[in-house]
C-alpha cells in the first residue's frame, strides 16, 4: 500500500496530471519525504501540548455533533498521523466506533501511518475520489467511497489548488457528513515559502468562508484559541467546518 517513487509517477499520470503539475507535486513529495521521520517532533515543536489537545478536542466535538455511533473518517494530507491517531483515540473514548483512513501524497508519511495502524492511502488531495479508486484497484483494498467526516490539519496552505481540494472533499462526503479543517491564519512571513515549503501564507477567515461557500451549503470559520510557534514567529490558527 506504500508506492515507490516510480509508482507515484505512474499514479500521477493515471490521475491526469500533465508533466509540469506532476513535477510541482513531486517537489512537495521530496520536501515531505525529508520531514516524515521528524514530523511528530515538528508538530510538538510548533504547538504546545495544550494547543494540540485543543485542536483534537475541537475536531472531536464537531464530529460528535453528527450524533452517530459509527463514523467513517478520512484525514486528508494526514502526514505522520499525529492528529489522526489522537482524534481516533478520543472518539473511541467517547464510545464512537470509528473507521479511520488517511490519505497523503508522500510515501514515507504513509509508512508512519501504517506503523500507527491507520489505513494509509496514497493520493492527491485535489483528486481524492480518483486516488481512492486507484488505491482500491492497485492494492486490492476496499476503502469506502463516502465518509461521515473528512478532516485536515495544518495542510490547506500547502495545496497548490485549495479550492479544488475542497471540491474533492465534497465529492467523498456523505449527504449528512461534514468537513473540518484546522490550519494557519494569513501571515506575512514570505520566507516560509522557502523554509517550510508553504504554498500560501495561510488564509483569512473571509478567504476561507469565500472558498467554502462556492462549494458547500453550510460554512463556518472561526479563530481558535491556539497558535503555532515557528522559531520566534507566532501564527494563529482557524477552524473551518463545511457541510
Ligand X SMILES: C[S@@+](CC[C@H](N)C(=O)[O-])C[C@H]1O[C@@H](n2cnc3c(N)ncnc32)[C@H](O)[C@@H]1O
Stretch that binds ligand X, among 61-69, 90-98, 105-113, 204-212 (CB under 6 A): 105-113
# residues contacting ligand X (CB under 6 A): 22
Query: For ligand X, which residue of 17, 82, 101, 216 counts as binding (CB under 6 A)?
Result: 82
User: What is the chain's length?
Assistant: 243
> Is 121 among the residues that bind ligand X (CB under 6 A)?
no
For residue 35, CA distances in Å to 1, 39, 108, 196 come to 20, 6, 9, 10
Query: For ligand X, which residue of 59, 85, 106, 178 counts as binding (CB under 6 A)?
Result: 106
Comparing CB distances to ligand X, the nearer of 136 and 199 is 199
> Is 132 among the residues that bind ligand X (CB under 6 A)?
no
First to last CA, the chain: 30
For residues 14-73, which are near ligand X according to CB under 6 A? 25, 28, 32, 39, 43
Residues that bind ligand X (CB under 6 A): 25, 28, 32, 39, 43, 77-79, 82-83, 104-106, 109, 124-126, 153-155, 158-159
Amino acid at each position: 500500500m506504500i508506492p515507490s517513487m516510480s509508482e507515484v509517477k505512474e499514479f500521477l499520470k493515471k490521475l491526469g496530471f500533465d508533466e509540469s503539475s506532476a513535477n510541482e507535486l513531486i517537489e512537495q513529495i521530496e520536501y515531505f519525504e525529508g520531514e516524515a521521520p521528524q514530523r511528530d517532533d515538528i508538530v510538538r515543536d510548533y504547538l504546545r501540548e495544550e494547543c494540540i489537545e485543543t485542536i483534537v478536542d475541537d475536531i472531536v466535538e464537531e464530529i460528535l455533533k453528527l450524533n452517530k455511533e459509527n463514523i467513517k473518517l478520512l484525514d486528508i494530507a494526514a502526514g505522520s498521523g499525529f492528529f489522526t491517531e489522537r482524534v481516533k483515540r478520543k472518539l473511541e473514548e467517547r464510545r464512537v466506533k470509528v473507521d479511520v483512513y488517511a490519505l497523503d501524497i508522500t510515501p514515507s508519511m504513509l509508512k508512519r501511518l501504517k506503523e500507527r495502524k491507520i489505513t494509509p492511502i496514497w493520493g492527491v488531495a485535489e483528486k481524492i475520489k480518483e486516488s481512492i479508486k486507484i488505491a482500491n484497484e492497485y492494492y486490492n483494498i476496499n476503502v469506502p467511497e463516502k465518509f461521515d467526516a473528512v478532516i485536515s490539519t495544518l495542510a490547506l496552505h500547502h495545496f497548490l489548488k485549495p479550492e479544488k481540494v475542497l471540491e474533492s472533499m465534497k465529492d467523498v462526503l456523505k449527504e449528512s457528513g461534514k468537513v473540518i479543517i484546522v490550519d494557519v491564519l494569513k501571515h506575512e512571513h514570505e520566507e516560509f515559502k522557502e523554509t517550510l515549503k508553504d504554498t500560501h501564507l495561510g488564509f483569512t477567515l473571509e478567504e476561507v468562508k469565500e472558498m467554502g461557500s462556492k462549494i458547500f451549503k453550510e460554512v463556518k470559520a472561526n479563530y481558535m484559541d491556539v497558535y503555532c510557534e515557528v522559531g520566534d514567529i507566532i501564527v494563529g490558527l482557524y477552524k473551518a467546518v463545511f457541510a
